[in-house]
């Protein structure tokens, strides 16, 4: 099989199944799995092969059956970014619209944040529910956000660990199959994808992000699941807050109507697609209108409060975000010159938060939920000497000083006006690619 893929031949369904089962059950040694991954990296895969790989990985463990939950269940997945707190906003908004949200999320690793880590910054919040409690909660309040079990797509866990150490992470078929296998195993009826592109994304170029979106939509269609993908900007943090408790506060500010901006806009764009796929709205415009009503009426925030309470957390944070963990050191970082914000190295910003304790270098690292920073600058903004660039929330003055140096190095200014980048570049469906920039 390795030889056939190395020579560029298409692998059969049985061959791919043998490869995936070997990864899931340990019957194929790591050095052969690694050789196969490298052959796939060099030679690629056809859409049919990628779909076969995805389905085999999804079937390597349990597949959740959500049929006992009434209605069309729509899942959402982001390929990862910095300050991306959309799940905490759109999940309660969509659930408040009467569409059940059975969400299985992940943890952060590297410069990207994880939804589960953000939720666990709320005192008492549990993201580990038994299957019975998971179903019971969704049927009762229409919303649950929990972690992935070890029996969900176990082959992906083995292959992803090998990809990480064999420099084969950046393979479109391997990325697509990793994401979609877990989404398909999660049992949703339809899927909305947020594919990030830019300096803080896995896919740095727009063309590669659109191609990844196209492949994942194609996999969903071939697996019988309607999928819509939005290709969105990650050339700067999506929200203004970076860090676990800070990002929960950002989401609460949006849900309570205290703030809006890019984070709200992307949340509404993704949420409206979820409502269309769930037959709750006929068009994206109608879906946005319904979501906005849930926002302005406070029903979205009420639904988030319900979920927090149901999962053992402190619902009072919805009314008093100061109940979230607070860092002992706060430092204002001000501009030393004048100009327009031209570039933000978003990966570097994410790594600065990670170094402060907001993210993991190793999976066993213990997070400090309180640390991070609030970015007051946005690309295209004109800033003068003394203007507030960001506010640091740190464990110590030393950590604050290190973060300040990293953030200053990550932000580049220009004397000339700078064009504000679009939030969404394209919408990808089974009917094709619609550019929106």
Q: Which residue in 237, 244, 201 sits closest to 366, CA to CA?
A: 244
Q: Are strands 190-197 and 372-375 parallel, antiparallel or unpaired?
A: unpaired
In the sheet that holds 339-344, the strands lie side by side as 382-383, 339-344, 411-414
Q: Would you say 200 and 410 are in contact if contact means Cβ atoms under 8 Å apart?
A: no
- Give the Cα separation of 224 and 147 in Å (integer): 25
Measured in degrees and rounded to the nearest 5, phi and psi for residue 25 equal -110, 0
Q: Which residue in 313, 80, 39 sits closest to 178, CA to CA?
A: 80
Q: Which residues are catalytic?
A: 77, 156, 163, 178, 182
Measured in degrees and rounded to the nearest 5, phi and psi for residue 176 equal -60, -45
Residue-wise burial string across 392-430, b where 16 or more C-beta atoms lie within 10 A, e elsewhere = bbbeeeebbebbbebbeebbebeeeebeeeebbbbbbbe
- DSSP state, 112? B
């Amino acid at each position: 099989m390795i030889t056939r893929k190395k020579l560029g031949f298409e692998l059969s369904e049985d061959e791919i199944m043998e490869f995936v089962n070997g990864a899931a059950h340990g019957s194929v040694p790591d050095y052969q799995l690694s050789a196969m991954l490298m052959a796939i990296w060099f030679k690629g895969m056809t859409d049919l092969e990628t779909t076969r790989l995805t389905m085999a990985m999804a079937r390597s463990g349990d597949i959740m059956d959500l049929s006992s939950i009434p209605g069309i269940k729509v899942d959402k997945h982001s390929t990862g970014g910095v300050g991306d707190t959309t799940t905490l906003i759109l999940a309660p908004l969509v659930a408040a619209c009467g569409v059940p949200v059975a969400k299985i999320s992940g943890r952060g690793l590297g410069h990207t944040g994880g939804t589960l880590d953000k939720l666990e910054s709320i005192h008492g919040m549990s993201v580990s529910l038994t299957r019975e409690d998971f179903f019971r909660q969704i049927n009762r309040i229409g919303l649950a956000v929990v972690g992935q079990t070890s029996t969900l797509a176990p082959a992906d866990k083995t292959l992803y660990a090998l990809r990480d150490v064999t420099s084969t992470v950046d393979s479109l078929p391997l990325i697509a199959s990793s994401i979609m296998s877990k989404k398909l195993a999660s049992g949703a009826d339809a899927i909305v994808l947020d594919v990030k592109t830019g300096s803080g994304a896995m896919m740095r170029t727009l063309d590669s992000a659109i191609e990844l979106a196209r492949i994942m939509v194609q996999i969903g269609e071939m697996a019988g699941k309607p999928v819509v993908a939005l290709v969105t900007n990650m050339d700067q943090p999506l929200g203004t807050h970076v860090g676990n408790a800070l990002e929960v506060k950002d989401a609460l500010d949006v849900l309570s109507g205290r703030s809006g901006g890019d984070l709200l806009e992307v949340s509404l764009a993704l949420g409206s697609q979820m409502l269309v796929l769930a037959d709750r709205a006929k068009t994206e415009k109608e879906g946005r209108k319904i979501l906005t009503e849930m926002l302005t009426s406070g029903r979205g925030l009420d639904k988030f409060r319900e979920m927090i309470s149901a999962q053992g957390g402190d619902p009072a944070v919805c009314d008093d975000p100061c109940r979230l963990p607070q860092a002992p050191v706060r430092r204002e970082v001000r501009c030393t010159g004048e100009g327009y914000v031209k570039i933000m190295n978003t990966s570097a910003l994410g790594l600065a938060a990670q170094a402060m304790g907001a993210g993991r270098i190793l999976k066993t690292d213990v997070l400090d939920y309180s640390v991070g920073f609030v970015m007051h600058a946005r690309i295209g903004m004109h800033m003068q000497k003394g203007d507030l660039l960001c506010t640091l929330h740190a464990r110590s003055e030393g950590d604050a000083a290190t973060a300040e140096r990293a953030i200053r190095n990550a932000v580049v200014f220009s004397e000339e006006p700078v064009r504000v980048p679009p939030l969404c570049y394209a919408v990808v469906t089974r009917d094709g690619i619609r550019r929106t920039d």
